[in-house]
Structure 1
Amino acid sequence: AALIGGNGYLAVYMTGILMGNAKLREKKELVHFFDGLSALMQIVIFFILGLLAKPDLLLAMLPMAFAIFLALSLFARPGAVFAILGLKKAPWQQSALVSFAGLRGAASIVFAIMAMADQAEFGLDVFHLVFGIVLFSITIQGTLLPFAARKLDMVNGEGNVLKTFNDYSEDGDLCFCQVVLDQRTPLHGHTIESLALPSGLSVALVLRNRKPLVPHGGLILHALDTLIVTGTKFESAGKLLDQERIEAQDERIGRALMDLQGDVHRIVCIKREEGYVVPDGTTILQEGDMLIFLKS
């Protein structure tokens, strides 16, 4: 990047994204090591920044810093985020949360130091100004971020936050799924060994009245039991299947599949709340449904 006059910070950032999504040997151990190293470096850099800051100069810049913080939080950042995510037709709740979560950390202060070290003419104390903006952002936005996420209904308890941007975690060869037996289940009174599960599929745990039971072949199943079933992960599922959520205001809400045009026959399953629906032509779509369908 330096040889061609590019941005070194952007080059390192892009390299991190590529390596984060690459298949590396001992990746999990490497990630744990560099997570610890990154945390240590953040402590060191904030310590150094604290030594560089002068309380009297910082207090003098706080009014202007607060005004800029308000302008960034209420106008500049929301305008940019909504314009960019609007191209992807993202839900307004997602755009609002991204706007609110646009915190400014140590990198902003370091850039301010570099600008002042380059003897740029600003006419004001950029270092303490940026320092004040970061303090307001972390104190106000950082504290209220969990509250804002809950109010905007943007909390996903099932997702893995480590895989939000980079594939930080290595997936195992096994996956788990939950099977809840209803009142009319034909499995009531049957033993686990009588299920004759295929090779590679087994019951790892049985929950009965919220109490875990270690499964064995002679364990008799009851209605309302919850089975935790484990099996070999299907690596090619993402190549064959795709999913789409029915959001609010979708014109398909309340309509039967048989009344819809298009390749509705490719819908193989519908995830609805905590359960799954095997669809047929009379299935009525509801808000929040997750359609799982074959890729064309």
Structure 2
Amino acid sequence: MEGVESSAWWILAVAVAGIVAVMSNRLSERTHIPAPAFFLVAAAVASDVVPALRQFSITTVQNVVTVALVLLLFHGGMELGWRRLRPEAGPVAWIGIAGTFLTAALVALAAHLLGFDWRAALLVGTALAPTDPAVVFSVLGGKEITGRAGVLLQGESGANDPVGIALMAGLLGAATGSVGATAGRVALVFAEQMLIGAAVGVGAGLALKWFIRKVPLPSEGLYPLRMLAGAFAVYGAATVAHGSGFLAAFLAGIVLGDARAPYKREIERFHTALGSLAEIVAFTMLGLTITLGSFAAEGAWGDGLILAVVLAFLARPLVMALLTVPLRLRLGERIFLAFAGLKGAVPILLGSFVLSAHLSHSQRVYDVVFVVVAFSVIAQGSLVPTVARWCRISIRSSEVEPWALGVRLRDRPEGAQRVTVQPGSPADGTAIADLDLGEHVWISFAVRDGHLLAADGSTRLRSDDELLLLTDPDASDRWSRLFANRP
């Protein structure tokens, strides 16, 4: 029975830690410091106070964080969806790929000036190049960035994580030799990872989309589990084929984001909860790998803070200023995108790959990456809402709505469409009777500010109103332009 009692103590400790972690989101709302920062710093301090907490090997931590990252990328892709991404797919790919390379190069140059040799400097730059959308949305306290800025930020963050991981894999796998040979090896590994990952992600996403629509299950609770298993199957298939499993998971999520499938709302809620849990676990596990006592000896505090300032106020703004020139964004949107590229779990995960490779200066690289991420989520992250307000970025409140109104149907409702009135769209401020909906579209009901709206022909719609439309599935969908942003 002693073993059972010992296990019970561990279960109780984990449960209490989980409750505290979940409640930290309330503290995040008040301080504007991202909730992941509390997990990361608290775990790092706890591992110094109680060294027994560092019993996990770096490989175990990497495996756990990899699982969490697959969940976050797949869920992020589903939230984004192809319909939202399609108008910005080119800019997202441009910023996600070119931005990662340029940011890595500038940070590597700064790291080299701080005393890192060129290979270590490139590893530092590559580790710090990717951004983290989960941290940004945690800062905003449940609010959603609308318009192009939100799509570009979310799309870039999802795209540059796989790019950064593939680039790190190329650098670690490159044999020492001439610069040309090393660059060629890195380019080959990167291209292989991206192409195979993209092909598997899109192909498997389409196959999974067909599968979930055509093959019924006997219980409602099995549908979210099937989607979860599908996400990991996509990652595994791409990785086994020597592609980027992370890119595959992200793209599969995008393909499935707009799919009309049985129990879609339940699947989305399930993956939202799992994404929150994955974020907590990832930052906690990574924090447990840190030994704060060694930072002073390695010079990590000074080097990390210098690189954090260079990255936040020089490298990223310069890169985004160059890459957003052809995108015709407002100045405020460009400034916000430059500032809101916060760092998160992926840079520390990439730093752990360097640590497990046992290269020269690997511990220093890992410690410096941790300091930069901590600065980004705490100091820079707390300013994101203020910067968004200064830049006049449209942010839509998505307050908790615990009550749902819905019906269950045996067959798929082909003609039912759910839309949100976008700010500046033709429907924004227009009476329902004045909308050119045609003869085959009817507004069934509307929701405004979390309340059912008694709508008739004289009701003027507002931005963020949610509408349920009944349409003829065989008729044209030209009505959709009425609710979208004007080009």
* TM-score of the pair, normalised by structure 2: 0.36
Q: Which amino acid aligns with 2:261?
A: L
Q: Deviations over 1:201-247 (max 9, x none)?
A: 68979xxxxxx99799xxxxxxxx966797735685557748998xx
The RMSD of aligned alpha carbons is 4.2
Given the superposition, is the C-alpha separation of residues 231 and 124 from structure 1 closer, same or farther in structure 2, using an over 3 Å criterion?
Answer: closer
- Partner of 1:121, secondary structure, is coil
Aligned AA (2:379): I
Match of residue 27, structure 1, among 254, 259, 264: 264
Q: CA deviation at 1:53?
A: 1.0
Matches of 2:313 and 2:263, distance apart in 1:
44
Select the residue among 43, 53, 67 that pairs with 2:280.
43
Query: How does 1:31-180 map onto structure 2 within 5 Å?
Result: 31-58=268-295, 60-122=299-361, 125-157=364-396, 173=417
- Corresponding residue SS for 2:343: coil
Partner of 1:209: none
Aligned-partner SS, 1:6: coil
- Asked whether the equivalents of residues 103 and 137 of structure 1 are also in contact (C-alpha less than 8 Å), the reply is yes
Distance 1:239 1:175 in 2: 11
CA separation in 2, counterparts of 1:4 and 1:180? 52
Question: 1:96, 1:68 → 2: CA distance?
Answer: 20
Question: Within 1, Cα distance between the matches of 2:277 and 2:247?
Answer: 22
Structure 2: tracts of 5 or more residues without a match: 1-237, 400-414, 421-426, 432-440
Partner of 2:31 in structure 1? none
Contact kept, 8 Å, 1:178 with 1:226, in 2: the verdict is no
Deviations 1:61-92 (A, max 9, x none): 12111111111112211122222222222222
Worse overlay, 142-151 or 172-181: 172-181
Kindly tell me: are residues 202 and 178 of structure 1, through their superposed partners in 2, closer, same or farther at Cα, counting changes over 3 Å? farther
**1:280 aligns to what?**
none
Contact 2:355 2:362 in 1 (8 A): no
Corresponding residue number in structure 2 for 1:253: none
Letter in 1 for 2:338: S
Q: The residue matched to 1:5 in structure 2 has which SS?
A: coil
Q: What does the per-residue CA deviation read over 1:82-111, in whole Å, with 9 as the maximum and x for residues that have no partner?
A: 222222222222121111110110111111
Q: Which has the higher strand share?
A: 1
Shift of the 19–67 alpha-carbon distance from structure 1 to 2, 3 Å rule, reads same
1:173-212 matches, within 5 Å, as 173=417, 200=442
Amino acid at match of 2:285: I
Aligned-residue sequence identity (percent) comes to: 23
Deviation at 1:55, TM superposition (A): 1.8
Q: Distance in 2 between matches of 1:200 and 1:244?
A: 17
Q: Give the secondary structure class of the aligned counterpart of 1:82.
A: helix
Cα distance in 2 between the residues matched to 1:77 and 1:153: 20
Once the two structures are TM-superposed, the CA of residue 122 in structure 1 deviates from its matched residue by: 3.4
Structure 1 CA distance for aligned equivalents of residues 480 and 442 of structure 2:
21
Instruction: Report the secondary structure of 1:70's partner residue.
Output: helix
Measure, in 2, the Cα distance between the counterparts of 1:133 and 1:125: 12
C-alpha separation between the residues in 2 aligned to 1:204 and 1:75? 46
**Would you say the 8 A contact 1:61–1:129 is kept in 2?**
yes
1:58 and 1:132 in contact (8 A); partners too:
no
In the TM superposition, what are the counterparts of 1:219-230 in structure 2 within 5 Å? none
Q: In the alignment, which of 10, 15, 18 is matched to residue 255 of structure 2? A: 18
Tell me which amino acid in the other structure corresponds to 2:242: G
Counterpart AA for 1:70: V
| Corresponding residue to 2:246 among 9, 20, 31 | 9
- What is the rounded CA distance, in whole Å, between the counterparts of 1:203 and 1:21 in structure 2? 21
CA 238–95 in structure 1, closer or farther in 2 if over 3 Å, else same: farther
Task: Give the distance between the partners of 2:351 and 2:459, measured in 1 at CA.
Answer: 56
Structure-2 change in CA distance of 1:78 and 1:203 (3 Å):
closer
Distance in 1 of aligned mates of 2:322 and 2:453: 52
Deviations 1:160-216 (A, max 9, x none): 9xxxxxxxxxx96466878799xxxxxxxxxxxxxxxxx9468979xxxxxx99799
Cα deviation for residue 48 of structure 1 reads 1.7
Residue identity matched to 1:118: A
Give 1:45's aligned amino acid. Answer: A
The one-letter code matched in structure 2 to 1:24 is A
Amino acid at match of 1:78: P
CA-CA distance at 1:52 after TM superposition: 1.4
Cα gap change, 1:114/1:24 in structure 2, threshold over 3 Å: closer, same or farther?
A: farther
TM-score (norm 1): 0.57
The answer to whether the Cα contact below 8 Å between 1:97 and 1:152 also exists between their aligned partners in 2 is yes
Whether the aligned pair in 1 keeps the contact of 2:443 and 2:470 (CA below 8 Å) is no
Deviation of 1:47 (Å) = 1.8
